[in-house]
Every structure is written in C-alpha cells, then in structure tokens.
A and B are shown apart, each in its own frame.
Chain A
C-alpha cells in the first residue's frame, strides 16, 4: 500500500485578477512518478512552484509527510527542484555546483567528494568535475541540474519541464534516463510537462490540468483509454470526439447509427460524447462495417498511415497499417470496448470537475 507523502488541499492562487489555481486538491504517493500535464497556462508550473516554496498560495495547505509546509521557506523543505532552464551556477565548476547543497549542510569533504563522483556516474558524466556550465550541452547541463538536486537525497524531486529545451532524440534518451534514476533512487518524482507523450512514457500517475482545475487523475492507460471528458480526450493523443446519444446501456447512437459499446449507467436517450481513437477504427469492405464512407486524405506517417474517411457527414480520423488510396469506398468498424462514452459537459466550467482518485 502506497503511503501518502504530500497532501495538497484547497489550494487557490491568483495573480491580480488572474485566477491560476482554484481550490485544488491532490495527494501524491511515496515513490511514485507523478506528472502534472496540461497546456501552458493551466497552472501546473504554479502548483510545482508552490510545492517548491517559491510561491505562496492565497488559500489552502500543503501537508508534507504529516507537517504543514505551506509557509515554510524553500531552504527548509525536504524537496529539491530541477528548473526548466537548468539554473546552474555559472561562476562555479560542475563539482562546485553539485557540492553546493552539501557544503551548506556542512557535510565533510570526503563525503562531498564521494557524492560528486556518485552523482556524476549516475547521470553518465564522470570526469566532468572541473568543467563549467557553459562548456556543456543543454542535455549535459540538465543532467548536472538533476545531479545537483539528487545529491541532497530529497524525499521528492520536482521537475519543471526539464526536457523542454532539448531536441527530440535527446529528449527520448533522457526520458529513459529519468525512469532509471527514479527506480534507482527510490524517491518521488513530481514532473511538469505539456508533452503528452512524455507523460505517458514516464508516469505512474498523470494529473491532467486545464485552466487551474484538475481534469482527470489516473494511470497513463486510464488517461489514454478512458478519458473522462472531451478536453482530456483531445489533449492526450488524437481522437474522434463525436456527439452521440446513449440509447440504452451498451448501445450508443453515433451520427444516426447504433454502435454496441460496453458502457452502462448513463440512462436512456441521454446526450453524451463518444471518443474513438483513430487506431481503434478498422477499415473493412463497404457494407461489412457499421457505416460506409470514402477515403478523402492519405498521409504516410512512418509507423502507420493516417487517413480521413468521410462517412455520415463526419471526417473520421483513422490510423492503420493498411493503406487505402484516396477515393476508396470503405466500411467503418469499431469494437464495442474501443468506444469511450463521456458525459456531456453541462457548461464550460464543467471542464473542471473536482475528481477523487
């Protein structure tokens, strides 16, 4: 059973008239990789900075390991931050950067030297002790920033879009590196990103945020396969989001066609949104599917073909390893468990349902 390490309750934060976080509740379990995911301006970085102590919330509390740390200065908190732009100390060598926190805590020289060696090895940069930050590449600087944080043995490592400035290949390498680090160190990671792929790859738990509200909390599989609202479905990967009517349990009418599904409990003849992932649509011969259409666009994406199929006045986005040239008549088939039904939002604010995990 995972232990609750951080409990965030009723946090609100505004800058002037701009409400960034509104009555946010969230808890973070020990030794988990938790990702705050959302578009820019959703409040994820503000939440991280509140955890780090660089911002004070207007309302609410942060309980860390049973102690209220809401108003505690950053230097008194048992967590360390890896900043977006690394924030290395340019007037010091790499070794001095890594030693900074330990020196302040008054650790012995031998202990500090051991730690520097250990940390550099951990981030695969042995032998870089005497370089300065500007002699390193972005990826290397980011690793040093991580090394500088973890030598202090924090209970929680906060990471603010640490891979944002790196190129694609390096970013992917660093993702595996971070997973490895987390497993080796056994500490809790709180990671902020707007990159859904990054979030899906690394996280144990993803918290999807929008406009200061939590949209959904769940494992990467949950978030991807069972988005709870249109925002999550749209933000995490590509999808067909269709207005639909729940005819009865396990039967949904989409674009006038009845689709068998597996969802229950929405009532009879209730308006809902149906989410169908592009890779879950099977293209078959006309007449063999639930509805027929014509391929209107075809793009080769490497792993798969991306096609758009016009059927019942809707352009269906389809990913398939089979290729159907533009103009081909096809049938569309969707397995019942590949249809995700979501309640229609009552209002725009409804994108902001408070959610209990």
Chain B
C-alpha cells in the first residue's frame, strides 16, 4: 500500500526536480558566478545601475497600482457574485474566465490594436468628435494591460472565500444589531482577508515580473525590470547578469509577500 502511494508521487517528483528545482539551482549558480565560473556578487549589484534601478522602481510602482485597481474592481464584483444563486454566478464567472482561454499574447496584442493612434478606439472617438486617446506606449497602457490580464486572478480567490462564509454568521451579526455596513466591516471584510491576500499575490507577482505587456503596450521605450532581464538573456546573452537580476527580483517578491502576510494572522490562502 505504502509503496504504491509512493509510486504515484513519482511523476510529480520528477516534474518538480526537472522543471522547478534544477532551474532554480541553475539561476542561483549563474546569478552568483561570473563568466569564468568564479563566485561573485557582481551580478546582484547590477541592480544598482541607474537604468536598472529606474526599471525596478517603475515595475514596483506599476504593479502596485495595477494590484490596487484590480482589488477595487474585483471585491465588489466578487461580492455581487457570491450573493447570486449558483447558476447565475457560475455563468458570470464563466464570462470572466472566458478571455483567459484565449492566448495571453493575443489578448495583449488586441489591446495594442485597440489603443493605437489610428486604432479602433480612436477611430470611434474621432467619429464622435471626441478628443483622441493617446495612452499607447505610456505607463497607463501598461497598467490597463496588467489590470485586464490579471483581474480574474483577483476575483476568483476573493469570490471563493466569500461564498464559503456561512450565511448564518452574517445572520448572527444582523441579529446582534449590526446594520449592513457594520456586517461588512466587522464580519465579511475580516473573514475575506485570506482571499484578498491570495488575490494580491496572484496579481502582484506576475505584474512585477511581466515583460510581454510592457513590450507590446509600452512600445520599446518603457523598460520594466522584466524587460531588462529578458534582454540580458535574449539580446546580451549575459545569463549571469540576467540570473542575478532575477534573484534580486525574487528577494523583492519575498519581501512584499512577507509584508502582506504580516497583516494576515492565520497565513491562510497565501502563496508562501
């Protein structure tokens, strides 16, 4: 019995070693060595160059703003969904997930077409004699792309915790005299914290590391830390610097998550 169970974990174990553990070890190896395979911290120090610092700062800022916007949009939506009957809500959830079935690149390219100077949106606006929208190749377009792509990852975890709240717990709060606002602030909001944290993690981390969205919607003018790392690998062929910067980014993600989880007593629903 025991041996059979162990056999079942085999494929997963193989997967984890081949595609998670070995790549991470390689990143650590490249990140902490120079071209002659000698140990060095120089690759980590790459982050201190003005261009890289600027890219990191912009990445942190844009992913922070995108995460906040996602949260503000997703919470009310998740609340509306959790109040619906299962049939209605699963239909709306489907609508939100539907775009995720399309290729991520395709969706982002579609936004490029929509936002372009002579794109669809501006064509409609000029037809209506309205001022032109000039946000393509600006940070605003990048934020728009991030929010659009990552919103479902915020909605679903929050929706999941909200539907699990026992209706009688809410009834009990009302029974004890709480009005709707008090029920929300004292019961629903605190009980949904694990979902919110999980949602923040699922939006903030990919937003911080993305290079595709900034590439397509930011033109090549706006460099995020993801783009810098990508260029180190694909243009400069400097795997050492790229790995070093990746490690620095990992450290920033770990710090961000630690800050968030500090406010979550139980540590439920987080990625760590």
Binding site for B on A (CB under 8 A): 52-54, 73-75, 77, 80-81, 83-85, 87-91, 100-101, 104-105, 145, 148-149, 152
Contact = CB atoms under 8 A, between A and B. Distances in A.
A87 B177 contact: no
Contacts of B174: 53-54, 73-75
A148 B174 CA distance: 13
Nearest to B193: A91
Which of B173, B174, B175, B190 is packed against the most chain A CB atoms within 10 Å?
B175
Nearest to B176: A101
6 contacts: A52-B171, A75-B177, A89-B187, A90-B191, A100-B178, A152-B177
B110 interface: no
The 10 closest A-B pairs by CB, nearest first: A101-B176, A87-B168, A87-B172, A74-B174, A104-B177, A83-B168, A91-B190, A87-B169, A81-B175, A75-B177
B177 to A, nearest CB: 4
B60 to A, nearest CB: 30
Nearest to B189: A91
Contacts of A148: 172, 176
A81 B175 CA distance: 7
Contacts of A149: 175-176
B182 interface: yes
A80 B176 contact: yes
B36 interface: no
Interface string B80-108: 00000000000000000000000000000
B176 A104 contact: yes
Contacts of B172: 81, 83, 87-89, 145, 148
Contact of B178 (A77, A81, A104): A104
B173 A89 contact: yes
A90 B187 CA distance: 9
A81 B187 CA distance: 17
A87 B166 contact: yes
B187 A87 contact: no
B92 to A, nearest CB: 22
B177 A83 contact: no
A87 B186 CA distance: 14
B179 interface: yes
A54 B171 contact: yes
Contacts of A54: 171, 174-175
B175 A74 contact: yes
Contact of B175 (A52, A88, A89): A52
A101 to B, nearest CB: 4
Given A83-B168, A91-B191, A100-B178, 16 more contacts: A52-B175, A53-B174, A54-B171, A74-B174, A77-B175, A81-B171, A81-B175, A83-B171, A83-B172, A84-B168, A87-B171, A88-B169, A89-B173, A101-B176, A145-B172, A152-B176
